[in-house]
């Protein structure tokens, strides 16, 4: 007479849960599970929703196109950022996402699809990353040297020509608390390729080496006499006209600065300086509320930061410290609690009631 195999004992189930939890807490990103995000619907004034798809073609009917990178190590931040975009816009079903990834694409694609089953998006392989790696010079922090950190320089090549024309680029460590439609609608004058919050009182000396400033042919890049006010801007939040980007050959210009850096060491900080050299003083300004950056602390110690004065539409944990890491470690900065409500990570010990 056949016998029914014994069910796993409760102690064994508990042990398995502990092991899975330990894997997640010990930094195995593939052990992380995400719960399904709530669905958000268009307001009556919005156009018809985009069809949900994990392989969407670029839609001219999308009100906003958002470009982001997807990376296993930062996926928890990306999920929170996507949720914040959808939650705070009047037309969430009219937002189309364009994700760039260089590894683990099937896993990333499946994770986004199950977490946001109503989303219109596509994942674009960053196939140039081996060549890009050869252009990268070491910086002050290893995380800044990953090729995917430079993917923002290649969005004109990665995304299809003609659609989208305008894209909002967002880093994975941001949270929006305002409608992305407002950011996307930032006016771009005829001579501007991109728009971002500028900080014209910033001291650019710290971003470039003495070799750069001692060479007149280089330091004159920021001469006011050349009608370029040397204003700092953070590349984690940008509105980009991709047609103008391609016409101006700006990916090639950024690569030229990276090649010079390999020969002369003219800057220290990752992918930001080539953008400053190419665009600073030539961009459309966006209100500072759209990039309350630096919340991750400085690049050396990750010290806590406070908000800049004024209103807030976007919180950006740029810098060394990430809110999910500090929250898990039980050592959050005060502002990390503002990120926590958008965290879609499934608790390690969550057990389905069914």
Distance of CA 15 to the CA centre of its chain: 36
Residue 115 binned pLDDT confidence (cut-offs 50, 70, 90): very high
Contact between 318 and 339 (Cβ < 8 Å)? no
Which helix or strand (DSSP H or E) is residue 54 part of? none
Identify any residues that bridge with 69 across adjacent strands, giving them in sequence order. Answer: 100
Half-sphere exposure of 103 (CA within 13 A, CB side): 11
> If DSSP codes are grouped into helix, strand and coil, which group holds residue 275?
helix
Burial 1-14, CB ≥16 within 10 A → b, else e: eeeeeeeeeeeeee
Q: Which two tokens stand for residue 16?
A: 């398995």
- Does any domain span residue 50? no
Residue 126 is predicted with a pLDDT of 93
Q: Which two tokens stand for residue 270?
A: 């990752």
Residue 29 binned pLDDT confidence (cut-offs 50, 70, 90): low
Which CATH number belongs to the domain containing residue 144 in this structure? 3.90.550.10
> If DSSP codes are grouped into helix, strand and coil, which group holds residue 304?
coil
Contact between 85 and 176 (Cβ < 8 Å)? yes
In this structure, is the dihedral angle defined by the CA atoms of residues 257, 259, 265 and 270, taken in order, positive or negative?
A: positive
pLDDT at 2 over 80: no
Report d(CA 212, CA 273) in Å as an integer. 11
Mean pLDDT of 215-239: 80
Among 261, 266, 258, which residue's Cα sits nearest to residue 131? 258
Burial 282-291, CB ≥16 within 10 A → b, else e: ebbbbebbbb
Contact between 290 and 268 (Cβ < 8 Å)? no
- Does any domain span residue 169? yes
DSSP string, 113-151: HHH-TT-EEEEEE-TTHHHHHHHPPP-SSGGGGSGGGGG
Sequence-distant (≥ 6) Cβ neighbours of residue 232 within 8 angstroms: 198, 199, 200, 202, 204, 207, 276, 280
Residue 281 binned pLDDT confidence (cut-offs 50, 70, 90): confident
Domain interval for residue 92: 64-342
What is the Cα Rg of the chain in Å?
22
pLDDT in tens, 157-175: 999 998 999 999 999 999 9
Which CA distances in Å does 191 have to 9, 163, 281, 282, 321? 69, 21, 11, 8, 36
Report d(CA 204, CA 187) in Å as an integer. 26
- Does any domain span residue 24? no
Contact between 266 and 208 (Cβ < 8 Å)? yes
Mean pLDDT of 220-227: 65
Q: Which two tokens stand for residue 72?
A: 């296993």
DSSP string, 316-352: E--SS--HHHHHHTT---GGGGGTGGG--BPPTT---
Task: Match 């101006």 to its residue by tokens.
Answer: 248
Instruction: Report the domain count for the chain.
Output: 1
- Does any domain span residue 164? yes
- Does any domain span residue 23? no
Report d(CA 130, CA 95) in Å as an integer. 31
Mean pLDDT of 187-212: 89
Residue 84 is predicted with a pLDDT of 98
- Does any domain span residue 36? no
- Does any domain span residue 48? no
Q: Which two tokens stand for residue 107?
A: 């896993």
- Does any domain span residue 134? yes
53 secondary structure, DSSP code: B
Report d(CA 348, CA 24) in Å as an integer. 8
pLDDT in tens, 60-85: 999 999 999 999 999 999 999 999 99
Residue 140 binned pLDDT confidence (cut-offs 50, 70, 90): low
178 secondary structure, DSSP code: S
């Amino acid at each position: 007479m056949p016998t029914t195999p014994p069910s796993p004992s409760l102690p064994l189930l508990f042990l398995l849960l502990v092991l899975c939890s330990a894997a997640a807490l010990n930094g195995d990103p593939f052990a992380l599970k995400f719960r399904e995000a709530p669905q958000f619907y268009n307001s009556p004034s919005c156009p018809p929703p985009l069809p949900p798809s994990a392989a969407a073609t670029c839609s001219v009917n999308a009100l906003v196109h958002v470009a982001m990178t997807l990376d296993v190590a930062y996926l928890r931040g990306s999920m929170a950022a996507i949720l914040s975009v959808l939650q705070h816009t009047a037309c969430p079903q009219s937002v189309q996402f364009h994700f760039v990834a260089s590894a683990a694409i099937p896993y990333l694609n499946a994770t986004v699809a199950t977490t946001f089953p109503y989303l219109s998006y596509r994942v674009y392989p960053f196939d140039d990353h081996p060549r890009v790696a050869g252009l990268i010079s070491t910086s002050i922090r290893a995380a800044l040297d990953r090729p995917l950190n430079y993917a923002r320089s290649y969005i004109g090549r990665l995304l299809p020509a003609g659609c989208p024309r305008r894209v909002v680029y967002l880093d994975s460590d941001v949270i929006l608390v305002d409608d992305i439609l407002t950011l996307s609608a930032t006016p771009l004058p005829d001579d501007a390729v991109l728009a971002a919050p500028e900080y014209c009182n910033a001291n650019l000396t710290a971003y470039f080496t003495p070799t750069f400033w001692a060479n007149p042919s280089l330091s004159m890049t920021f001469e006011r006499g050349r009608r370029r006010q040397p204003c700092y801007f953070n590349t984690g939040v940008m509105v980009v006209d991709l047609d103008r980007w391609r016409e101006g050959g700006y990916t090639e210009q950024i690569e030229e600065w990276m090649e010079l850096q390999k020969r002369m060491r003219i800057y220290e900080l990752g992918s930001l300086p080539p953008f400053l050299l190419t665009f600073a003083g030539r961009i459309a300004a966006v209100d500072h509320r759209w990039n309350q950056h630096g919340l991750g602390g400085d690049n050396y110690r990750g010290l806590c930061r406070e908000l800049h004065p004024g209103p807030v539409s976007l919180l950006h944990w740029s810098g060394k410290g990430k809110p999910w890491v500090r929250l898990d470690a039980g050592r959050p900065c005060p502002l990390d609690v503002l990120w926590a409500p958008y965290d879609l990570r499934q608790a390690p010990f969550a057990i389905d009631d069914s």
